[in-house]
């Protein structure tokens, strides 16, 4: 924002936050643009942009992009290929009869695969529902605490798409392969590489699927991050969010003029166009997973990993002594490894070699019972 030092608002109270933004705009002589950095802020950004006469997405469209239950219904009605789905209401006692397997249980408004669990039979499904119920217990709204999405599992390689909407027209900036199979029971992402190796036909159908999804939501401006499966020669949409890729992963995208993804997005929001062609070659990121619960002691082998040809950065974001919580309850990564090379295959090999040189030292977490 234009306010020096930023503007602090409570995203849990959107009406009050909107008043703060409106007052700041008057005080500072207006803003050039409003951009949402994550799922929690997309609706507020849409409302604020509309009130201040700035380009942005309608709040209803932004809400669809972050509410998986509402999104599924809208996409299915628009003819976009999505998994078969059912919304379960925990307040009524979830009815699971007639659900086919394998299926996937997920919260309606969480990211980073948190709370996403595959079930292969009715027993696993009941256990998954109980586990996700505990995960969403502290969600910010009644719906998010009470509603779960159960959908059919779609096999096949998973990809991610980074795009940018300008006046309703989608420009795909990158398509990422996720070369590790994401078959469950949890769906922890590890490696992204671009350009994709699926081929021209797949890329065209993936792009068209994301374009139709954005139109179905009513999104018209700003970043789009989508997750899809390539199955039976078709693109199946899993998620489409009105934000950029999460965490530090955006740093793997380097545009030919030296601009970052954030610079490209902010410039577009202000009506300016920066060069959007990606730098030549391939790039990728390894997200270091939380393999087990405990206390992080240290990460060894960082210099060894940096010695792998093609690896240009190892960033450890988790601090020593932090409590680690693996999926599906947790959703944070320990850090990131970035690599570049001539081909996507070469970049993937560099990232896997670097992963083999890192050693995550985790100590057990001992909890004291005051009543003992």
In tens, the pLDDT along 133-180 reads 999 999 989 999 999 999 999 999 999 999 999 999 999 999 999 999
3-state secondary structure of 247: coil
| DSSP E strands, 273-333 | 282-288, 294-300, 311-316, 323-324
pLDDT band for position 5 (50/70/90)? low
Is-contact 350 313, C-beta < 8 A? Answer: no
Instruction: Quickly state the pLDDT bin for 332 (edges 50, 70, 90).
Output: confident
Taking the whole predicted model, whether its pTM rises above 0.75 is answered as: yes
Any long-range contacts for 345-348 (C-beta under 8 Å, 24+ apart)?
345/197, 346/282, 346/310, 347/193, 347/282, 347/283, 347/284, 347/310, 348/179, 348/191, 348/193, 348/284
Of 147, 140, 46, 16, which is closest to residue 94 (Cα–Cα)?
147
Quick check: 58 pLDDT over 80? yes
User: How would you class 53 by CB atoms within 10 Å of its CB: exposed for 0-12, middle for 13-18, buried for 19 or more?
Assistant: exposed
Contact 181, 155 (CB under 8 A): no
The span from the first CA to the last CA of the chain, in angstroms, equals 51
So what's the pLDDT on residue 369? Answer: 64
Q: Which range has highest mean pLDDT (39-53, 193-207, 269-283)? A: 193-207
CB atoms within 10 A of CB 371: 4
Give the domains, in start order, of the chain with CATH numbers. Answer: 84-152 (3.30.1490.20), 281-372 (3.90.1170.50)
Q: What is the pLDDT of residues 258-307, one digit of tens each?
A: 899 999 999 999 999 998 888 899 999 999 989 899 999 999 999 999 99
């Amino acid at each position: 924002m234009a306010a020096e030092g930023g503007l602090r608002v409570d995203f849990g109270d959107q009406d009050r936050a909107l008043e703060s933004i409106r007052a700041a705009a008057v005080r500072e002589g207006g803003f050039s643009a409003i951009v949402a950095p994550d799922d929690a802020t997309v609706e507020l950004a849409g409302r604020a942009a509309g009130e201040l006469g700035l380009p942005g997405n309608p709040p209803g469209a932004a809400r669809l992009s972050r509410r998986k239950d509402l999104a599924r219904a809208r996409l299915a009605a628009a003819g976009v290929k999505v998994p078969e789905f059912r919304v379960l209401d925990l307040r009524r006692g979830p009815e699971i009869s007639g659900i086919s397997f394998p299926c996937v249980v997920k919260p309606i408004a969480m990211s980073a695969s948190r709370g996403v669990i595959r079930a292969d039979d009715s027993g696993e499904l009941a256990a998954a529902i109980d586990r996700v119920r505990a995960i969403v217990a502290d969600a910010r709204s009644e719906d998010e605490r009470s509603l779960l999405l159960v959908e059919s599992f779609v096999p096949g390689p998973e990809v991610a798409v980074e795009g940018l909407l300008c006046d309703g027209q989608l420009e795909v900036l990158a398509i990422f392969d996720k070369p590790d199979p994401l078959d469950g029971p949890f769906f922890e992402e590890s490696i992204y590489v671009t350009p994709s190796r699926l081929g021209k036909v797949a890329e065209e159908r993936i792009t068209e699927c994301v374009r139709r999804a954005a139109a179905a939501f009513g999104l018209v401006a700003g970043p789009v991050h989508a997750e899809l499966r390539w199955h039976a020669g078709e693109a199946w949409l899993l998620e489409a969010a009105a934000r950029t890729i999460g965490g530090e992963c955006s740093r793997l995208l380097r545009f030919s003029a030296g601009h970052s993804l954030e610079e490209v997005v902010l410039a577009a929001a202000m009506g300016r166009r920066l060069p959007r062609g990606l730098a030549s070659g391939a790039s990728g990121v390894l997200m270091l997973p939380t393999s087990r619960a405990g206390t992080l002691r240290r990460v060894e082998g960082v210099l060894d990993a940096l010695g792998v040809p093609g690896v240009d950065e190892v960033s450890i974001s988790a601090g020593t002594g932090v409590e680690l919580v693996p999926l599906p309850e947790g959703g944070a990564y320990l850090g990131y490894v970035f690599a570049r090379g001539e081909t996507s295959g070469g970049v993937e090999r560099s990232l896997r070699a670097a992963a083999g040189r890192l050693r995550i030292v985790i100590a057990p977490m001992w909890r004291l019972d005051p009543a003992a």
